[in-house]
Chains A and B, each alone.
Chain A
Amino acid sequence: MINTNKNSNYISGKTGDWEIVIGLEIHAQVLSSSKLFSGASTEFGKDPNHNVSLVDAAMPGMLPVINQTCIKQAIKSGIALNAEINKYSVFDRKNYFYADLPQGYQISQYKYPIVGEGSLQITDANGEDKVIGIERIHLEQDAGKSLHDQHPSKSFIDLNRTGVALMEIVSKPDLRSPEEAASYVKKIRTVLRYIETCDGNMEQGSLRADCNVSVRKPNGNLGTRCEIKNLNSIKFISQAIQYEAERQVEILENGGVIDQETRLFDTSTGETRSMRSKEDAHDYRYFPDPDLLPLELCDSQISEIRSDMPELPDQLVERLISEYGITKYDANVIAEEKEYVHYYENSAKDRDGKLVVNWMTSELFGLLKKNNIQFNQNPISPNYLNELVELIENKTISGKIAKDVFEIMFATSKSPKMIVKEKGLEQVTDDSAIEVFVDQVINENKDKVKEYLSGKDKLFGFFVGQVMKISQGKANPGLVNKILKSKLK
Chain B
Amino acid sequence: MSNLLQFSISEALFLLKKKEFSTKELVETYINAIEKTKDLNMYLTTCFDQALEQAKTSDQNYFNGNQRFLEGIPLGVKDMFCTLGIETTASSKILKKFIPTYESTVTQNLWKEGAINLGKLSCDEFAMGSSNETAAKGEVINPWNFEEKRTPGGSSGGSAAAVAAKAALAATGTDTGGSIRQPAAFCGVVGLKPTYGRCSRWGIVAFASSLDQAGPITRNVPDAALMLQVMCGYDPKDSTSSNKDVPNFYNDLGKSIKGIKIGIPEEYNSDGISSDILNAKDMTINFLKENGAEIIPVKLPLTKYSLPVYYIVAPAEASSNLARYDGVRYGARIDGNSLDEMYENTRNLGFGDEVKRRIMIGTYVLSSGYYDAYYLKAQKVRRLIKNEFTEIFKQVDYLVTPTTPTTAFKLGSTQDLLTMYLNDVFTVPASLAGIPGISLPIKLDKNKLPVGIQILGKDFDEQGLLNVANIIESCASFKDTPNGAAS
Q: Which residues of A contact B (CB under 8 A)?
A: 54, 57-66, 93, 95, 97-99, 102-105, 155, 157, 283, 285-287, 290-293
Give the residues in chain B near A286, CB-CB below 8 Å. Answer: 366, 371
Quote the shortest CB–CB distance from B234 to chain A (angstroms).
13
Give the residues in chain A near B82, CB-CB below 8 Å. Answer: 59-61
Q: Whole-angstrom distance between the alpha carbons of A406 and B323 in the complex?
A: 65
Q: Is the interface of A mostly helix, strand, loop or mixed?
A: loop
Give the residues in chain B near A99, CB-CB below 8 Å. Answer: 326, 328, 339
Give the residues in chain A near B375, CB-CB below 8 Å. Answer: 287
Q: Which residue of A lies closest to B208 (CB)?
A: A290
Q: Cβ of B320 and Cβ of A102 under 8 Å apart?
A: no
Given known contacts A59-B101, A61-B82, what 16 new A-B pairs fall within 8 Å (CB)?
Answer: A59-B102, A60-B82, A61-B81, A63-B237, A63-B239, A64-B239, A65-B238, A65-B239, A66-B239, A98-B339, A99-B328, A104-B322, A285-B320, A285-B368, A290-B317, A291-B209
Q: Cβ of A291 and Cβ of B366 under 8 Å apart?
A: no
Which residue from A102, A157, A291 sits with its C-beta under 8 Å from B324?
A: A102
Q: Cβ of A290 and Cβ of B209 under 8 Å apart?
A: yes
Q: Cβ of A104 and Cβ of B326 under 8 Å apart?
A: yes
Give the top 4 A-B pairs by smallest Cβ distance, nearest first: A104-B323, A290-B209, A290-B210, A285-B366
Residues of B367-410 contacting chain A, CB below 8 A? 367-368, 371, 375
Q: Whole-angstrom distance between the alpha carbons of A65 and B201 in the complex?
A: 12
Give the residues in chain A near B319, CB-CB below 8 Å. Answer: 95, 285
Quote the shortest CB–CB distance from B98 to chain A (angstroms).
7
17 pairs from A and B in contact (CB 8 Å cutoff): A60-B82, A60-B324, A61-B82, A61-B100, A61-B202, A61-B203, A62-B203, A63-B237, A63-B239, A98-B339, A99-B326, A104-B320, A104-B323, A285-B363, A286-B366, A287-B320, A287-B366
Residues of B90-137 contacting chain A, CB below 8 A? 90, 95, 98, 100-102, 104
Quote the shortest CB–CB distance from B15 to chain A (angstroms).
35
Q: Whole-angstrom distance between the alpha carbons of A292 and B209 in the complex?
A: 10
Q: Which residues of B contact A (CB under 8 A)?
A: 81-82, 88, 90, 95, 98, 100-102, 104, 201-206, 208-210, 236-240, 316-317, 319-320, 322-324, 326, 328-330, 339-340, 343, 363, 366-368, 371, 375
Q: Cβ of B339 and Cβ of A63 under 8 Å apart?
A: no
Q: Whole-angstrom distance between the alpha carbons of A104 and B322 in the complex?
A: 8
Q: Cβ of A102 and Cβ of B101 under 8 Å apart?
A: no
Q: Which residue of B lies closest to A64 (CB)?
A: B239
Quote the shortest CB–CB distance from B312 to chain A (angstroms).
11
Give the residues in chain B near A292, CB-CB below 8 Å. Answer: 239-240
Q: Given A60-B100, A102-B329, is A285 in contact with B239 using a C-beta cutoff of 8 Å?
A: no
Q: Which residue of B lies closest to A103 (CB)?
A: B324
Q: Whole-angstrom distance between the alpha carbons of A54 and B210 in the complex?
A: 21
Q: Given A54-B101, A104-B326, A290-B210, is A62 in contact with B202 using a C-beta cutoff of 8 Å?
A: yes
Q: Given A66-B239, A285-B320, A285-B363, is A59 in contact with B100 using a C-beta cutoff of 8 Å?
A: yes
Q: Whole-angstrom distance between the alpha carbons of A253 and B35 in the complex?
A: 82
Q: Cβ of B240 and Cβ of A60 under 8 Å apart?
A: no
Q: Cβ of B102 and Cβ of A97 under 8 Å apart?
A: no
Q: Cβ of A104 and Cβ of B368 under 8 Å apart?
A: no
Q: Which residue of B lies closest to A104 (CB)?
A: B323
Q: Whole-angstrom distance between the alpha carbons of A59 and B324 in the complex?
A: 8
Give the residues in chain A near B240, CB-CB below 8 Å. Answer: 290-293
Q: Cβ of A97 and Cβ of B323 under 8 Å apart?
A: yes
